[in-house]
Amino acid sequence: MTHSDREHRWRREWQRDGHRVVECEVCGYRHLHPLPGDADLESFYREHYHKEKQHIAYHAIDDAFVAKRLEDLTANLDFRGIYEKVETLFSGTVPRTMIDIGGGNNLLSRFFMDRGWEGTVFEPNADAADYLRHFDLPVVESMFGDADRSTQRSYSFINIQFVLEHVLDPLKMLCQSADMLDAGGLIRVCVPNDFSPGQLAWLSATGAEPPWISYPDHINYFDFDSLAQLLARAGLVEVSRDTSFPLEFLLLTGNDYYSDSSLQEKVAPIVSGFENAWLKSEQGYRLSTFYEMLAGMGMGRSAVLYARRNIANDKSHT
């Protein structure tokens, strides 16, 4: 029985533009119901997703563009924070090997490679895969679940960022990822923190439909608790959590940036201004502590969990 064919049970649901998200008691997280078909979903990501989202003007990529991106990469504080976190969580010497699943336009692997790591990216979209190759990244141009496991090696670090919300069977992807981890290997999973306590408070106060329901690309909707439970079912043991700026604070103070286009333009400057003020005052550690405390409360716009492979439960995927 496939994940799509499974019986789903729920007591709570939400609607937006005729699309329904249910809080599934069987899966343990919220997801679209009914679920889309495998073939339609694969076609959407292989052929349309990055073009329709217009993440990158692929036709405009040239040597100058690549050089500027590489220059900016060295100063990328988000990547530096992830890199330092991973190095801190490893004890002793480990093979510096990593994969980035569903890399898209993300150059995290190149950041690691520039620091002595060996990196590979799984990316099914042809345009995004070609983009990554401009930066000398080894790319496996396929859906992660379609890759030939017989030729795959194990890795000490696996990054899955903004991917699980897009796949039909996130537990299957996590189990496959766990199987590719070295003993003591580390996995980082980052998803939108949807239906967070702050967002639910805002929905209750306003009676609004959840504007973060994004059809057809967002199939699953995780918060910290449901993501942690899914990792455990995949035989992974949480070791740390993190988040990003709590955009729900804006909603709760009456700044509905979802429906007000003028506010949408202000969100990025608000976030960067807040973070840069701390960093420029040499108090970056307070910003990190703040985000870690928010993550412990289930708050923040993204849910980020670091976990290790639980060797004792290798055969317990359910």
Q: What's the domain count of the chain? A: 1
* Residue 142 in domain: yes
181 forms beta bridges with 155
* Residue 168 in domain: yes
* Residue 150 in domain: yes
Instruction: State the pLDDT at residue 54.
Output: 52
Question: For position 195, which CATH number holds?
Answer: 3.40.50.150
* Residue 267 in domain: no
Share of the chain above pLDDT 70, in %: 87
Across 164-180, average pLDDT: 94
- The Cα–Cα gap between 105 and 96 comes to 22
Mean of pLDDT over the chain: 89
Sequence-distant (6+) residues with CB within 8 A of 87 are none
* Residue 255 in domain: no
- The Cα–Cα gap between 227 and 248 comes to 19
Q: What is the pLDDT of residues 302-314, one digit of tens each?
A: 999 999 987 665 5
What's the token pair of residue 238?
Answer: 């949480």
Across 192-196, average pLDDT: 97
Across 194-220, average pLDDT: 95
Instruction: State the pLDDT at residue 126.
Output: 87
Instruction: State the pLDDT at residue 1.
Output: 43
* Residue 248 in domain: no
* Residue 72 in domain: yes
Q: What is the pLDDT of residues 42-91, one digit of tens each?
A: 666 666 565 555 567 888 899 999 999 999 999 998 999 999 999 999 87
222 forms beta bridges with 193
Which domain does 167 fall in, by range? 38-242+302-313
- The Cα–Cα gap between 140 and 313 comes to 29
* Residue 106 in domain: yes
